[in-house]
Structure 1
Amino acid sequence: MSMWATLNRNVFKRTSTFALAIASGTFFFERTFDLVSNTLFERINKGKLWNDIKDKYE
């Protein structure tokens, strides 16, 4: 049985499971995107952020 047939039978056939799959996929995508973008921002701005320079001003 192909993967598409399995996915169709288990997720897309019922509206409730399809909506749950969309909601959970959206949640995990948002959390992953937020983590990756924050990590990238901190890596690019290393040495310029408050956590890096606060010892000089306290």
Structure 2
Amino acid sequence: MAGLASTIYNSLIRKNTVFLTTIFASAFVFELGFDSISNRVWDSFNQGRQWKDIRHKYVQAEEDEE
């Protein structure tokens, strides 16, 4: 366990620039993942009630009227 901690410290935390880059990259990846999962949950809860689900009813009706 001490070897793993030493490896992490030497590769990611020892230099301030590498540490900050690691933090910003991790935050960016977390944001992408969280956003993707949130959108999937939102779409599953609201399936059939969103514009992308009912658009075909109204777009087709407009084309028939013209």
Question: What is the TM-score of this pair, normalised by structure 1?
Answer: 0.90
* Structure 1 segments unaligned to the other structure (5+ residues): none
- Write out aligned runs for 1:1-58 (5 A): 2-58=3-59
| SS of 1:48 mapped into structure 2 | coil
Structure 1 runs (4+) deviating above 3 angstroms are none
Higher RCO structure (Cα 8 Å, ≥6 apart): 1
- How many pairs align? 58
Question: What is the TM-score of this pair, normalised by structure 2?
Answer: 0.80
* Structure 2 segments unaligned to the other structure (5+ residues): 60-66
Based on CA coordinates, which of the two structures has the bigger radius of gyration?
A: 2
